[in-house]
A = this chain, B = another copy of it.
Amino acid sequence: MNELNDDDIPAKVKAIFTEYLKKHNLRKTPERYVILDTVYSIDGHFDVETLYNKVNGSKYRICRATLYNTIELLLDCNLIIEHAFGKRKSQYEHSYKCKQHGHFVDLGSGEVTEYSDSRIQQIQKSVEEALGVEISYHSLTFYGYKKRNNI
């Protein structure tokens, strides 16, 4: 019964990350794994400041520079994706075994809502063929306003 089931996400992402680090001759520092764990413990989007606070709630003290460094690696091995809803700070979310989804940003409040639509996958395939590229991930964001409650 050592097989990993679909719920053993933490172990799987750790394995992917380790593989990546090994392949690129990067060091397996505890900080990197703490960050990975923390990222996968967060549900939904987060910015660097949020991650910084979460991470430093644990016994480790990890500075922002290391956070940015590690985020770069996690992006590179597709364990997280990056969004830039507002202009200033980036938002991230873990992406392993997560179905791709889009976002709606309320221009009034800045609030972000998720939704999903499978048709986007078809578009992605078309784009790959049309442009001759390999797509790692996408970001589909609608901007607009919530309708006032009826009447």
Interface residues of A (CB under 8 A from B): 82, 84-87, 90, 102, 104, 106-107, 113, 115, 117, 119-120, 122-124, 126-128, 130-147
CB distance from A88 to the nearest CB of B (A): 9
Pick the contact of A141 from B119, B134, B138, B144 — CB < 8 Å? B138
Determine the chain B residues whose CB is within 8 A of the CB of A87 once the complex forms. Answer: 82, 84, 90
Compute how far the CA of A149 lies from the CA of B50 in the bound complex, rounded to whole angstroms. 42
Determine the chain B residues whose CB is within 8 A of the CB of A126 once the complex forms. Answer: 117
Compute how far the CA of A138 lies from the CA of B117 in the bound complex, rounded to whole angstroms. 15
CB distance from A112 to the nearest CB of B (A): 11
Determine the chain B residues whose CB is within 8 A of the CB of A104 once the complex forms. Answer: 127, 131, 133, 135
Pick the contact of A131 from B82, B113, B128, B141 — CB < 8 Å? B113
Contact present for B139 and A139 (CB under 8 Å): yes
